[in-house]
Structure 1
Amino acid sequence: MMTRAFSNGLVLFGLIALAACSEAENEAAETPQAPRPVVSIVAEPMALETLGYSGMIAPRYETALAFRTLGRIVAREVDVGDQVEKGETLAAIDAETLAANVRSAKARLANARIQARTARESEQRTQSLFTENTVSQSDLDVARQSRSVAEAELKSAEAQLDKAENALTFAVLTAPFDGVVTARSADVGDVVSAGESVMTLARTDEREAVVDVPASETSKLAPEQSFRVVLQIDPSIRIDGKLREIAPQADPLTRTNRVRIALDDAPQAFRIGALITAVPIFEGAAMPIRIPETALFKMDGETKVWVVDEAAALVKGRSVTTEAAPDGMVTVVSGLSPGERVVTAGVGSLKDGQAISLQEGIGESGAAEARQDETSGSAS
């Protein structure tokens, strides 16, 4: 009897415990799940200065200046960055040898003049004597020949002096046009040969934007392609330009082609060497939307994002078409409209129609919390 009572007590206890567990499970099922915090952004068209190709402002015309004769540099009047005017002295070499050549040429010219004058006077005397039948025809011919030789020597001496004086001007390097010195390769005391570059001078009146474009994208550029050139340090300063030249050969290391964009009447802020961003302008094309790559997830073989319904505080999956972009971003080709909010972290633990709470202005700690929350959600 005691054994049967004890068994009945155990069964009763088990039934009570089972009822309590079922009641707890029902209460847990009926308890609404707390909204999941998510990191999100509003999909907006990219700012102009964040698109395009980075590059710099360069002069369209740049000349390497050199002395036209051998010599040792004794003076340098300008340095890199100096503005110069046409005809201004830039540098000079030791001109003692060239000056000596000029003095020697002047002496030879003086002697040639004396010889030419003497030959002319001798011809005149011989002509007078020939008229009086005092000298023969051959004597007159010799006198005329001597005068012709002397005059030829005089012309040669004059030419030699012009040449020596012209060579003396080679000792001074002057600016062939208005511009700015962009490089210097020799200094005072250096001995330079004829034609060896001493400095580089660039014209400042005609400038252009130089960018490197991936070889795969150059085919998209039309012959008269328009570009919007934005100054990186001040994006409010911008100017339109036209494609002037595409390098016919890609760089073997970067696989990019050098593209030059002509700029007309560029503002002074576009100084040589200034960093710019050049954006190709295509007629009828809207500014693209870019979102972080972390906003994408795969479902049913499609690439999707979680679009936030802010009024209902829940998320809905939507298929999108994207293209790769630099810096961990993707360009949305279709599927999103400007102003829509998408989730950028914790996308792996969300479900369609799930309630969420927005984390505005979340930083690294918030992103870490969202990732931790995603991990715990996946584990559950």
Structure 2
Amino acid sequence: MIASRRSSLRGGAAIVVVAVALSACSGSGDEPSAPPPPRPVLTVTVAPTDPQGLGYSGTIEPRFETALGFRTLGRIVSRAVDVGERVEKGQELAAVDAETLNADVRSARAQLANAKIAARTAKASQQRAQALFNDNKTVSQADLDSANQSFSAAEADLVSAKAQLAKAENALSYAVLTAPFAGVITERDADVGQVVAAGATVFKLARTDQREAVVDIPASEIGGLSVGSPFEVVLQIAPSLKVSGKVREIAPQADAVTRTNRVRILLDNPPDAFRLGALITAIPAEKAEKPVVLIPPSAILTEGGKTMVWTVDPKTKTVHRQAVVTHRDTGGRIILDSGLQTGAILVTAGVHSLEEGQKVTLSEGLAS
């Protein structure tokens, strides 16, 4: 009797425990699930791009540069200028030993003096022969013809002697190298004591009145350029100094290593600060005249033929789709035309896995 009561009590307790457990399970199912944590995202703030970032680096070079050398063989005995110095037209730059050339001039002068004496003597003989032939016929026709021939030969020798002297004096002038125009010495290839051949480069002289910016532009971006395309050229050490220019020449072939084409931009009245060799940035005029906003390619989302981006509401820290209008420049960069305001926060990674209104967290410093 007692045993049966204990069994009943144990069975009832088990039923109560099971009921409590079931009620507990059913109660936990009715409670709402916890929201997912905000997702971390990478962002950038929409802002105009510095135009220099859209330009091409290069240097200032002369429009005209001439290699200068002696027109005669010789040993350099003096040098009056060095690299970087400004020179005026006709200024002496260097000289070679002219002793042999001076001797040639002295010899030519002596020959000219001798030719003058011979010409005077021949002329006098011809005049006497002519007079005797006309008066008494004491001189034969053959003698007169011989006198005339001697006089003609003496006159020819005199002309030749004058030409030889002019040639020797001209050759002597070759011993001094002078500047054919005003400019700057950009290179020196020989020095005092060195023997140089005729025509060998001693200096390079560049004109400074016409300067140009020389830049190397990727072959993929050269298609939008042509001779006459306007550029704005900025001095890198002083970005406030700018000058306009137009493309003068585009290399027809790209460099085999860098795959770039060399472009020469003739500058319009550049200030003195744009010295030869100065580093510059050349910016296409259409990009320098108005602010340009670049969109990272990773921020672009294409849906239904439309270009979309995700923007972040800084107050609610939620993301929202935004339609934008963009285009690509010759360099493949994505440029914003419309759809975003300056200062908007743009998501730049994971744009294909976001949802409208999703909570996000911004890494410190990326959205500022």
TM class, shorter-chain normalised?
0.7 to 0.9
- Give the letter aligned to residue 126 of structure 1: A
User: Per the alignment, in what secondary structure is the counterpart of residue 47 of structure 2?
Assistant: coil
Between structure 1 and structure 2, the one with the greater Rg is 2
For residue 78 of structure 1, the aligned residue among 81, 85, 99 is 81
- Give the letter aligned to residue 151 of structure 1: E
When residues 112 and 311 of structure 1 are mapped into structure 2, their CA distance, relative to the original with a 3 A threshold, is same
- Give the letter aligned to residue 187 of structure 2: A
Equivalent residues of 1:322, 1:334 under 8 A apart: no
For residue 259 of structure 1, the aligned residue among 256, 263, 266 is 263
When residues 235 and 205 of structure 1 are mapped into structure 2, their CA distance, relative to the original with a 3 A threshold, is same
- Give the letter aligned to residue 56 of structure 1: T
Q: Could you tell me how far 1:80 is from its partner in structure 2?
A: 1.4
- In the TM superposition, 1:172-211 aligns within 5 A as 172-211=176-215
Q: Please, what is the CA RMSD of the aligned residues?
A: 3.3
Matched with 2:3 is none
Matched with 1:11 is 18
For residue 160 of structure 2, the aligned residue among 152, 156, 161 is 156
Equivalent residues of 1:59, 1:207 under 8 A apart: yes
CA distance in 2, matches of 1:139, 1:264: 77
Percent of aligned pairs with the same residue? 55
1:44 aligns with 2:47: yes
1:108 aligns with 2:115: no
For residue 98 of structure 1, the aligned residue among 91, 101, 106 is 101
For residue 88 of structure 1, the aligned residue among 86, 91, 97 is 91
CA distance in 2, matches of 1:204, 1:103: 41
Equivalent residues of 1:247, 1:259 under 8 A apart: yes
1:259-306 deviation digits (Å, cap 9, x = unpaired): 222212111111111122222224998543124455456889987532
Matched with 2:219 is 215
**Normalization by structure 2: what TM-score?**
0.83
- In the TM superposition, 1:125-140 aligns within 5 A as 125-130=128-133, 131-140=135-144
**155-164 or 330-339, which deviates more:** 330-339
Equivalent residues of 1:49, 1:232 under 8 A apart: no
When residues 57 and 285 of structure 1 are mapped into structure 2, their CA distance, relative to the original with a 3 A threshold, is closer
Equivalent residues of 2:318, 2:359 under 8 A apart: yes
User: Per the alignment, in what secondary structure is the counterpart of residue 315 of structure 1?
Assistant: strand
Matched with 1:377 is none
User: Per the alignment, in what secondary structure is the counterpart of residue 237 of structure 1?
Assistant: strand
When residues 155 and 141 of structure 1 are mapped into structure 2, their CA distance, relative to the original with a 3 A threshold, is same
User: Per the alignment, in what secondary structure is the counterpart of residue 238 of structure 2?
Assistant: coil
When residues 129 and 322 of structure 1 are mapped into structure 2, their CA distance, relative to the original with a 3 A threshold, is closer
When residues 346 and 137 of structure 1 are mapped into structure 2, their CA distance, relative to the original with a 3 A threshold, is same
CA distance in 2, matches of 1:144, 1:325: 84
1:361 aligns with 2:368: no
When residues 39 and 234 of structure 1 are mapped into structure 2, their CA distance, relative to the original with a 3 A threshold, is farther
- Give the letter aligned to residue 361 of structure 1: G
| Structure 1 unaligned regions, length at least 5 | 367-380
Q: Could you tell me how far 1:242 is from its partner in structure 2?
A: 1.9
**Normalization by structure 1: what TM-score?**
0.81
Matched with 1:373 is none
Matched with 2:127 is 124
Equivalent residues of 1:290, 1:332 under 8 A apart: yes
